[in-house]
Structure 1
Amino acid sequence: MPGLRGATGLRLIDGLDPLIHAPTRLQLITMLSAVSEAEFATWRTILEVSDSVLSKHVSALVDAGYLTVARAPTRGGGRRGSD
């Protein structure tokens, strides 16, 4: 079957238009489907993306209701002010 092209002219791979289905976001949600929770730094390393890129994808998935985010408690009671 010849490669299909979406309205954007981009080749559709397995029915996915890369403009709509961001590869990093799909990778993230696929990997997260196998676990009940994960640490941000672990997924940043696995996906080989920056904090800001991963944060953008996580935020989009949270906004769409696919993920929930829980902040890990900080060690030592959080940030300290100047004494």
Structure 2
Amino acid sequence: MTPSVVVDILREAMFLIMLIVAVMVVPSLLVGLVISVFQAATQINEQTLSFLPRLFATLLAIVIAGPWMVRSLVEFATRLYANIPFLIG
């Protein structure tokens, strides 16, 4: 196994992780931004007001994109295990 192969595997794994995390975090960030603008406009300074909508947005994103996330991880692991003989030899 050459260093370039290891770097390619790590690059692909890191990209997959970043993509999966982005799918979960971006909806929460957008909902938080909308609620923050609403709080600034109405001058409501309640920290707990934005927690529940952000939680629901994150859970909804996980429910909607969950099958895709699991399928992507399983495909990556399957490809990695299938290529073990080629990577070692």
Output the TM-score relative to the length of structure 2.
0.28
| Structure with the higher fraction of residues in strand conformation | 1
Q: Which has the higher contact order (CA 8 A, sep 6+)?
A: 2
Output the TM-score relative to the length of structure 1.
0.30
| Structure with the higher fraction of residues in helix conformation | 2
